[in-house]
Amino acid sequence: MQEIVECVTNISEGQNSKTIAQIATAIESGPSTKLLHIDSGYDANRTVFTFIGDLKSLEHSVKNMFDVALGLINMTTHQGKHPRIGAIDVCPFIPIEGITMKSLNSWTHTLANSLSKDYSVPIYMYEESSTNSYRKTLESIRKGEYEKLPSKLLDPLWQPDYGPTKGWEKSGATVMGARPFLLAYNINLKTTDVDIARSIAKRIRGSGYTLDGQTIPGIFPSVKAIGWYIEEFGFVQVSTNLTDYTTCSLHTIYEACTYLAKDFGVEVNGSELIGLSPLEPLLLAAKYYDTEVKNDKQGIELAINKLGLSSIKPFVPEDRIIEFML
């Protein structure tokens, strides 16, 4: 079976089109690497590059990506809405075909060790590649963001898995690891009040919120969420990561946000899928809204319509669904 691994790298640059293009060229340098999608956010100042290939080709692509991105991005002056800890903020690898999670994890550790030495960048391992349970999740590693890295790197509990604790200021740190597939999914609210989006995010995310010194768990254990205002759109979003779409999928979150928004007298106005999605979550949404859907094409169209996936920019299935891209 052909070996296929997906990489969904998040780079802390969403405004300089020349820099984004140069990073894309570096990624495409791998002999069998295919760059599937580029998703940039100006206010977030962040770009998600989705690409696939075999391990040999991906290693070539990722090393060139580090070389270009770390040469062009200066984290000492970086500003953006999206949480971040470094120029190459998070670099996950997802097994698609012909490779086990265990084998991919071993390869990821070897690559991280090499990159940390070549580019003098601190690298934290997360998800399936984590070496410590208390720092398995991205949000725990990224807490405090780039600005808190000086104190974090002095803490014995937060030493990087690979790389230096000094001389990292320009690059920041990188979070890397093998992980299952997740969906990055944002729900639009018809308001500019970011506190509403944050309140809804606290209610739905698994980590919940703190009240009177007690942690109140959220509704969906497999959901991560924050609220933010995006000036270029003129409204706020509940920005989520769905780590297990089989238990909590796109329509589940969309309907939950719609219900909770009513408590604030606010309406949901479509949603935004970042990067690529498997076909299954869209078909699950279609079946939720109409159990009599006849075929995949009809189901996809129904899901796009009901979830408002074209509310910000057109959602073209051939460019956004992994099975079609492969």
How is 32-84 classified by DSSP, letter by letter?
A: T-EEEEEEEETTTTEEEEEEEE-HHHHHHHHHHHHHHHHHH--GGG---SS--
Catalytic residue (one of 37, 78, 82, 251): 82
**Which residues sit opposite 239 in a β-bridge?**
186, 226
37 has catalytic annotation: no
> What residues have CB less than 8 Å from 264, skipping those under 6 apart?
191, 193, 196, 199
Q: Say how far apart CA 304 and CA 286 lie, in whole Å.
A: 9
Q: Say how far apart CA 249 and CA 223 lie, in whole Å.
A: 9
Q: Are 119 and 73 in contact (CB under 8 A)?
A: no
Tokens at 92, concatenated? 């996950």
Q: Say how far apart CA 146 and CA 297 lie, in whole Å.
A: 43
Q: Say how far apart CA 168 and CA 178 lie, in whole Å.
A: 23
Residues forming the active site: 82
